[in-house]
Copies of this chain bind each other. A is one copy, B any other.
Amino acid sequence: MFDSAEIGHRIDRATYKAEVPALRAALLDAQYELLRRGTRAVVILINGVDGAGRSETVNTLNAWMDPRHIRTEAFGAMTDEDRRWPEMWRFWQVLPPKGRIGILFGSWYTDPILARVEGRDSRDHFAHRLERIRQFERMLTAEGVVLVKFWFHLSRQAAKARLKALASDPRTAWRIGPQERANLKRYDDFIDASDEALRKTSLGEAPWIVIEGSDEAYRHLTAGRHLLSVLRHAAAPASPVPPQGPLPASVIEAPGDDVTLLKAQDYGRRLTHERYERLLERWQGRLNGLSRDLRLRGRSLVVVFEGMDAAGKGSTIRRLTAAWDARFYRVVPVAAPNENERAQPYLWRFWRYIPPHGRAVIFDRSWYGRVLVERVEGFCAEADWMRAYGEINAYEEELTEAGVIIVKFWLAITPQEQLRRFREREATPHKQFKITPEDWRNRDKWPQYERAVQDMVDRTSTRVAPWHLVASDDKLWSRIEVLRTLCRRIEQALEQGIPAKRRL
């Protein structure tokens, strides 16, 4: 969930200065319109990693809008006094009325995550508290409250570098106490617990917005622009339909910053044919051995391939299946749904192919079509693909708990490489069937697809089923990387046993 918040987003000072005045004016307008209409309350949750600039962002938002109509409250871990009331009581006390904005610095996520990291709460109790939060947020949105859930993120490296910089400067060294050092030590545990919290509470009505925190200009501008889009949405005339939450597209992409997950890949890695052949043999052998591992008899394997047209999904899959006995696996190519499939919930046609224990299925495209092609082409309503992220996370978690090992690959190519391959296909008689006018049309929508991929990874790359983005401009390097990753993921899963098995 944090992948795209670790790629070093940055906005230069000049762009920031040029952008801010218009943004501030627009935010103020939207705030007054919200107040005038009085049909919705807006609650902004500020959460994230220590040092990711949460406090500065709260101050900035208050400075950019009219603070007289904003109530800002800070919440930490629960005290003994807090425990005299039911957990959610303290949040109910500060809910803003319709027309107003509430900023919660620390929120109903803070204590559950800390309690989990500190070992105060069992795994099950943590899950129970997250479920309570989900019900609470569903109820709030049904009652007309618009939730904006910001998560400010720092990579481990960035968090460490920040601590070091602060500690070495006598003017700031006082900010670093034993608590801050302890938090850094627990960084991985904190991210694990946060990943679960975000994964399980990413509702269509109230999605998480993860923002990289290290660059102040990027952070403020991204949060501000996102908030603007939400406020405009919230101030629109009330309808009987509950608000579907903020629009994720376009608004998150701050001007002046065009780093995306896909652009951030290193496309330069290459393999010689000779080295490729040697590595291919090695990893196929290992993959073959794994398919016969006795431990796999109580598990099953689902491999998902997604990628732009001509990214090499088919040829990669063939290198993979070449390592296996035909009785072990099945390849499921996924095209547009047929009539029978359209008469069912969208996950139905994938559920059908879920293998029993001891078997594998490879999906050539998958349920992610919902948030890729169906979103970009407008084949389903925004509300539908927005709720799909949460549904897909729940689906993959359910599979995982039943012993399914899920490995998801995005084969990433550059637009230049795609163009080269398209032209090559057109020029090669036996490849011409692979290129259609639709491929060219899809290519025109590259930026929309890139945006959808970024959101998809942000919202569905979880500890349970992470995305593996593989730079695939060089097919040889890409295939080996896929084989290697697949072997490692299977080995890891077999070693760990079935995760999150709750049966006693």
Contact = CB atoms under 8 A, between A and B. Distances in A.
Interface of A: 38, 41, 84-89, 92-93, 95, 97-99, 120-122, 124-125, 127-128, 131-132, 135, 139-140, 142-145, 240-241, 340, 343-348, 351-352, 354, 356-358, 381, 383-384, 387, 391, 394, 398-399, 401-402, 404, 502-504
B131 A41 contact: no
Contact of A132 (B99, B125, B357, B394): B394
Contacts of A124: 124, 128, 502
Candidate in A86, A98, A387 with the most chain B CB atoms within 10 angstroms: A86
B97 A351 contact: no
Given A124-B124, A139-B345, A504-B122, A93 B131 contact: no
30 contacts: A38-B343, A85-B356, A85-B357, A86-B354, A86-B398, A86-B399, A86-B404, A88-B351, A92-B352, A95-B345, A97-B343, A98-B343, A98-B344, A99-B343, A120-B503, A122-B502, A122-B503, A125-B502, A125-B504, A131-B131, A132-B398, A135-B391, A135-B394, A139-B345, A139-B394, A142-B384, A142-B387, A143-B344, A144-B345, A145-B345
A2 B346 CA distance: 36
Contacts of A86: 354, 398-399, 401-402, 404
Contact of A121 (B343, B354, B381, B503): B503
Majority DSSP secondary structure for residues of A touching B: loop
A479 B73 CA distance: 45
A406 to B, nearest CB: 11
Contact of A241 (B84, B144, B241): B241
Contacts of A95: 344-345, 348
Give the copy number: 2
Contacts of A89: 351, 354
- Most chain B CB within a 10 A radius of its CB, from A97, A98, A358: A97
Contacts of A145: 345
Contact of A97 (B41, B131, B344): B344
Contacts of A398: 86-88, 132
Contacts of A92: 347-348, 351-352
Contacts of A93: 351-352
Contacts of A347: 92, 139
Contacts of A131: 131
Contact of A140 (B97, B127, B345, B503): B345
B387 A345 contact: no
A82 to B, nearest CB: 10
Nearest to A132: B398
